[in-house]
Structure 1
Amino acid sequence: MRRWSVLGILLTAVLLVAGCAVGPSQRPPVAVRGELLPAAPPSSAAGPAADPDLLPGSEPVRTGPGFTDCTADATAALAAAGTPLPSGRALQVGCARLTVPADRSRPDLGPARLGLTRVTAPGAPADRPALVVLGDTGTDGSARAAVTLAGRLPATVLDRYQVIGMDRRGAGEDLLDCAPVDARVALLDAGPDRRDEAAMSRLLERAREVVQDCNLLLSGTLTSYRAASSADDLESLRATLGTARLDVYAVGDGADAAAGWVAAHPGSAGRVVLDGPGDPTLDEPARTEATTAAAEAAFDSFAAACTASPACPLGPDPRGYVDELVYRLSRTALPAGDGDAVTAGAALQAVRSLLAQPARWPELQSALVAAGDGDPAGLVRVLAPYGGPQGRFDAVLATRCNDTRVRVTPGEAAGLAGQWVQRFPLFGVGAAQSLVACGPWPSGGPVAPPGPQGAPPPPVVVIGTAQDPRAPQSGAERTASRLATGRTVRWQGAGTGAYPRTPCVTGVVERALVEGRAPSQPVVCPP
């Protein structure tokens, strides 16, 4: 029987956050509930000083691709994915394509075409300033993220902008689907019992199959699926829209790409919000170690949210419930029909994937309870958008591997698995296995340049979330420090993407996007 693949079981879902640890500062962080303390008045000894918190004005869109109406398709896709637009908010959605070089260093490789999704209030003028959305490859793609965000934005923001989602490399119009099915399944299914060097070596062989097939299919463009390419694509979009500066909201690894764009093109940055970037100073295996620690902390938040109710379906000890379920699935996978089965490794993938979306935690609880009772359907629904047909697995793998330089051998991965299983009992072994999955990939490069190239950019709002399963809390602070003008906002919540989920964060971002003012000092927002 073939282990879990969920390939062919369900249609994939069609289409928020790293914590920010505030570092040494002249002033302490400010704890707020939606209001910032005013900046200290400038000294008048040498005449009026430039306002350091003022952001550039938003520019009207002057040119651009021809968008065709796709409102019905977009709203239907959101409803099918379980995230319909709020009642009472009417939106108009347009779709277009952006043509960019597949690899700017290899003109002979030809073009790539990225999907664009424009979301506005009905009847909005075509030259309204653009707020470009760059999504996370592991959660929502940019197109869905743009529509979802527009549905939740404060009216003051939606009345000011047209929201444009730009697909990341490997998603949407440029969907990456190149891995052999059996090799993909093997990497997805690897359970916590496969942690010795021999097991890691077998995973390495399956990873080689992925690289070989993807190289053949992509004709030399495999390394273009990386944050640096998305940074270049942002600059191409800015030029296409005919603006000197671009206003951007980016989340997750989309924030990593946008941070690279700000560093490489500081003069192109307008009002920029980075929500949940990773730590740009880390490479492997330190990067995976930090993100795995963050995922374990996020699971603790998930468990605490469940047990806060006397009717927690996972009982008084959710971690113990999941441990027991994983143990049982390690011994006997749960049949899912058509020769497929949900394995221990697949179940842990499902848990980790939904930790990024607290709104779906009740769904995860129900899926785990059903699996405990022998029904795999809930976990299959969770896993389908990631590993199923038209899923995100290939794009996530390519982006992660291309954005790191260090490769880990099976022996080294086995050693790390032995250490991490003690520190990260749920996700440690899987984290070590993911390092082996990148073993055969060409060596990538850093997510962003060391710092801004030229004059510093305008102030950049950098948001971190305390329990983000994707990135450590240090990610936002170190991203802000690397950009030199970053202004940190630390939310004591959970999930990937803090905006606009809390009034405090929403207030800070609205001041930046609408009023053009960045916070004058670090901000701490309550849960």
Structure 2
Amino acid sequence: MVLVLAGCIGPNTRWSSPTSGAGASSTPKAAAATTVSWRSCPEVAKAALGRTPPNVTYDCGTVKVPQDWKNPTNGKQYGIALLRARATHQTGRIGSLLVDPGGPGGSGVDLAAYLSVGLPTAVTDRFDIVGFDPRGVGRSEPVKCFSDGELDASFGAEPDPVSQADFDKAVALARTMAQSCGTKYGDSLRLFSTEQAAHDMDAIRSGLGEQKLTYLGYSYGTLLGATYAQLYPAHVRALVLDGAVDPTLNSVAAAESQAKGFERAFDNFAAWCANNAGKCPIAPDARAAVTSAMDAARHSPVRGPDGRSATAGWIQTAVISSLYSQEQWSQLATAIDNLRKGNASGVFRLADSYAERDSHGHYSNLFDANMVVNCTDDPNTPSVDKLRALQADWRKKYPMFGASTALNLVCAQWPGKRDAYPAGAAKGAPPVVVVGTTGDPATPYEQTAKLADMLGVGTVLTWQGEGHTAYPQTRCITDAVNKYLIDLTVPTKGTTCPAQ
């Protein structure tokens, strides 16, 4: 799969930043007054966390929204799934904190379960943590285009098909996957755009009984939040956008930014290896070790415990997975070391975590939703021929990730109509906090100020750390975000937090 994912909040979720263009906003539609019928659902938290935390209640509900906010009165609706986590000892309650992990394709329901025990008590004491699966995701009218076999083929495919025969094979697989979405969903594909989902957020706000929205969005969730702020600036109380996406980039610029970000993150990993040989069995030259492993896999791939071959594609997926958090760097080094000894288990463990592939070979709908939303959002995907040219150019600029990041072959052959999100100022909105991590691979730090400036009301908060997203990683970041969420105290301009 050519889109790279981003995120490290929950152990079983990954999410990607989009590679899509920007367009003009449509006229906002006021959310119809609605309510949510809640039911107790501790089993959802247990499934996500492996346990049911004490002193927290978990309730599930659904908000009904128009399928098409541009034609909201035709009677056709989607159901948006919610999870509300509420600490039993709440005091000084402010309201609800709506959360989204990004993706597109990540489950906000699962994220709310994780954050119910992962956020500081200063926040959970005052807010219900409410997560939602956006339309097309997880429990909310999930789109499912791709078979398990197609996804295995996609992840395992050669990440840099050099020969024309190999390239044609990649184009054919992408065409089959695109056509499967078109055949199954037809004209309704356009209904899964980011702008449609942002309108859903206002219906959720109304259903929660909140006059104004308090929101925490990670990665692609920053794009959702930014789109909401443009559509409903008067309905914003506080937005924290962590792992910022720059909505002004076209698809090519966004993809190149991500290739550069992952290349930089891999360089940081390699430098860590060189300086920590005792923890890194592929030291002193981690780049050479990974490159050698991928080259060897092109000729004689190691078989994993389930019979899969650890191809160059699977190895690159494992590398990408490990760059979301510095804590996974040692796992990658061990996995590559074991691979050259004939053991591919570590490579597949990292890759399957990223892909949301279970032990039976079944996938969630993360990548189906990811592709549908990204392709629908992008009004100007380059042609296959243009992508072929970018592949050659970016291979030189970004040796590990450039070629594969360039090849957005599914969107290049997308059968559905496009629906671009807006990219402009959030006129009338209060201050928004935009958080960036200097070592972020998937939403590179350079995008942080771009998003803040575009909104016109953004304040940048910087973490000098590694991996994707910052809150609540360190005390400095945590304190600054907490004060904003609780007291609406905006961080001082230029606030920068050290790695530790």
Identify the residue that residue 251 of structure 2 maps to in structure 1. Answer: 284
Q: Aligned pair 1:399/2:370, yes or no?
A: no
- Secondary structure of 2:412 counterpart: coil
Instruction: Pick closer, same or farther for the CA change 1:492–1:14 going to 2, 3 Å.
Output: closer
Q: Which residue of 2 aligns with 1:425?
A: 399
Equivalent residues in 2 for 1:166-315 (5 A)? Answer: 166-174=132-140, 175-311=142-278, 312-315=280-283
Go from structure 1 to structure 2 and tell me whether the alpha carbon gap of 1:519 and 1:322 turns closer, same or farther (over 3 Å shift).
same
Q: Is the 8 A contact 2:16 2:220 kept in 1?
A: no
- Identify the residue that residue 448 of structure 1 maps to in structure 2: 422
1:73-93 deviation per Cα after TM superposition (whole angstroms, max 9, x unaligned): 4234324xxxx89xx974332
In structure 2, relative to structure 1, the CA distance for the partners of 1:287 and 1:254 (3 Å cut) is: same
Are 1:14 and 1:78, in contact at CA under 8 Å, matched by a contact in 2? no
- Give 4+ residue runs of structure 1 displaced > 4 Å after superposition: 12-19, 106-109, 123-128
TM-score norm. by structure 1 comes to: 0.81
1:103 matched to 2:68? The reply is: yes
Deviations 1:5-24 (A, max 9, x none): xxxxxxx97559999xxxxx
- Structure 1 residue corresponding to 2:409, chosen from 414, 429, 436: 436
Structure-1 separation of matches of 2:160 and 2:432: 44
- After superposition, give the CA deviation of every residue in 1:111-168 in whole Å (9 maximum; x if it has no partner): 2222211112125489860000011226953122222223222221111100001112
- Across the aligned residues of Structure 1 and Structure 2, the Cα RMSD in angstroms comes to 2.9
SS in 2 for 1:118: strand
Amino acid at match of 1:120: R
* CA drift at 1:294: 0.5
Aligned pair 1:329/2:301, yes or no?
Answer: no
Kindly provide the amino acid, as one letter, of the partner of residue 171 in structure 1.
V
Contact 1:467 1:494 in 2 (8 A): yes
2:93 paired with 1:119:
no
2-side partners of 1:126 and 1:516: how far apart?
A: 15
Partner of 2:112: 146
Using CA pairs below 8 Å that are at least 6 residues apart, which structure has the higher relative contact order? 1
> Which one of 143, 146, 158 corresponds to residue 124 of structure 2?
158
Q: Relative to structure 1, is the Cα distance of residues 265 and 509 closer, same or farther in structure 2, using a 3 angstrom cutoff? A: same
User: Which residue does the alignment assign to 1:488?
Assistant: 460
Q: Which residue of 2 aligns with 1:94?
A: 59
Amino acid across the alignment from 1:349:
T
Partner of 1:31: none
- Tell me by how many angstroms 1:72 deviates: 4.1
| 1:350 CA drift (Å) | 2.1
Distance 1:249 1:387, change over 3 A: closer
* Amino acid in the other structure paired with 2:442: R
Partner of residue 513, structure 1: 485
SS in 1 for 2:403: helix
The Cα shift of 1:401 comes to: 2.0
Show structure 1 runs of 5+ residues with no match.
Answer: 1-11, 20-61
> How far 1:306 sits from its partner (Å)?
3.9
Q: Displacement, 1:439?
A: 0.8
1:411 aligned onto 2:385? yes
> Partners of 2:305 and 2:282 in 1: how far apart?
25
TM-score (norm 2): 0.85
The equivalent of 2:334 in structure 1 is 366
- 1:407–1:14 CA distance, 2 compared to 1 (3 A): same
Q: Contact between 1:279 and 1:472, CA under 8 Å: does it hold in 2?
A: no
Contact 1:18-1:277 within 8 A present in 2 as well: no
Contact kept in structure 1, 2:135 and 2:192, CA below 8 Å: yes
- Distance change >3 Å, CA 450–CA 67, structure 1 → 2: same
| Residue deviations 1:372-405 (CA, integer Å, cap 9, x gap) | 3222222223333416323322122222222222
Distance verdict in 2 for CA 1:91–1:140, change over 3 Å: farther
Supply the AA of the counterpart residue of 2:65. Answer: V
- AA aligned to 2:211 is A
